[in-house]
Amino acid sequence: MTIRSQQELEAFVKETVNTCPVTDIHTHLFAESFGELLLWGIDELLTYHYLIAETFRFLPELSYDKFWNMSKKEQADLIWNTLFIENTPYSEACRGVVTVLNRLGLDLSQRDLEQYRAYFRSQNTKDYIDHIFELSKVKSVVMTNDPLDDYERACWMEEAPRDPRFLAALRIDPLLNQWSSSWSKLKDQGYPVEEELTSQTISEIKQFLHDWIKRMDPLYLAVSLPDDFAYPEESVRSRLINECILPVTRETGLPFAMMIGVKRQVNPSLKSAGDSVGKSDIGAVERIVSQNPDNKFLVTMLSRENQHELAVTARKNRNMLVFGCWWFLNNPSLIEEITRMRLELLGGSVIPQHSDCRILDQLLYKWDHSRQIIAKVLCDKYTDLFQAGWRLEEEEIRQDVEDLLGGTFWKFIGRPEPQ
């Protein structure tokens, strides 16, 4: 059916974006078979590292040690009192908790943490997972899978039946960023490697990757890279990329996902909340993608200052797909600015957002909040077309939205989208 007015257009776009099933291409969520790695519930939501960082800002007297020695419940109590009772929770991460409680139908008027706890205690994991997927209209999430994590590795070795909603991504940070401490872990898994990158070590690392690709069936290989990431360079990382990662991803047809611009542990006292951001050299991205045209790259950058040049680089290299507003960019004002710019430069050949959820329930807020902005930006783009005389069919809009919320990703990786 043809859209006849701007009002019709707005209503249809909002409805379509709000109800379209999403493929969430980067999260830290896990299926139930991964046991304690799957996090959900109010105490997990409150102790999200984004909120830990915010809490310390309001409590200058609180010692880091005192906080880290508290139980999770005590930490959650302190965070709730500080950020939600003594202050107004309008930061994006705080607002997220409010959205989650609201979407679960909990009573926000009482601000009663014990009542929320009682609700979560009454849920069983299996049904709760189903409930969150249904409520958030997320179809599938891509996990972050580390074969060098002992607990996670044991889960994979059990070969439990897979939950098709939880897809794998082979994460290789320890390999590329901490080879000096990771090589012995490969050795422990039975690969005869040494710290020096001899030809045997290179071929064993490739074997390790092939074996884990077979075991996990990942959709891509992924790494986070520091703000000073350089390519090419005289370094262990560059050698590992050139001699192991690029050949293996080329042979298997899997994309190499690079998440660039993180300054790890600028404040180690904050532990998992202690990472920061730095502007990176887009030249490194240009070189790696253009010198390897037979490889596919998924790229996101953490710094706002890198966003425009990243989109321009994608225009020049069709083997690269830009994805998501990562971490400190996952805020309404920045998502809007970045999404608008990307759609103007790249049309629908982009993945506007991923959630980066660490806690299952966060799917509710991260996607609710992002959908609102994607719908707003799309409405503006369609309105511009409408005013220029272009008439759109509902079906065309539906297709655009499906592509932005998953289809473009599946086409890029060359797999049929699971139905």
403 binds, among Zn ion, ligand FIX, none (CB under 5 to 8 A by kind): none
CA distance 281 to 334: 20
Rounded Cα–Cα distance for residues 11 and 7 (Å): 6
Closest approach of Cβ 220 to ligand FIX, in Å?
A: 13
What percentage of the chain's residues is helix, strand, coil (to nearest 5)?
55, 10, 35
Site stretch for Zn ion (CB under 5 A), options 75-83, 95-103, 174-182, 348-356 = 348-356
**Residue 146 in contact with Zn ion, rule: CB under 5 A:** no
CB of 259 to Zn ion, least distance (A): 7
CA distance 138 to 19: 9
Output the CA–CA distances (angstroms, integers) from residue 71 to 43, 45, 58, 67, in the order listed.
10, 15, 20, 9
List Cβ neighbours of 318 (8 Å cut-off, separation of 6 or more): none
Instruction: Choose the contact partner of 156 out of ligand FIX, Zn ion, none; CB within 5 to 8 A by kind.
Output: none
Q: Per CB under 6 A, does 327 bind ligand FIX?
A: yes
> Is the CB of residue 310 less than 8 Å from the CB of residue 302?
no
Q: Is 356 among the residues that bind ligand FIX (CB under 6 A)?
A: yes
Q: Which x/- pattern, by CB under 6 A, does the window 105-144 give for ligand FIX?
A: ---------------------------------------x
The candidate with the shortest Cα–Cα distance to 255, out of 306, 290, 307, 220, is: 220
In the complex, residue closest to Zn ion by CB: 356
Q: Which of 224, 353, 370, 408 binds ligand FIX (CB under 6 A)?
A: 224
Which stretches within 25-91 are classed as H helix? 42-46, 49-58, 64-69, 72-79
Residue list 352-371, contact with Zn ion (CB under 5 A): 356
Spatial separation of the C-alpha atoms in residues 84 and 73, rounded to whole Å: 15
Residue 195 C-beta: closest distance to Zn ion, Å: 28
Closer Cβ to ligand FIX, 356 or 402, answer by number = 356
Residue positions counted in the chain: 419
The reply to whether 24 sits near ligand FIX by the rule CB under 6 A is no
Pick the binder of ligand FIX from 139, 358, 366, 369 (CB under 6 A). 358
The CA distance from 352 to 364, in Å, is 17
Q: Give the number of residues in contact with ligand FIX, rule: CB under 6 A.
A: 6
Q: Which residues bind ligand FIX (CB under 6 A)?
A: 144, 224, 259, 327, 356, 358
Interface with Zn ion (CB under 5 A): 356
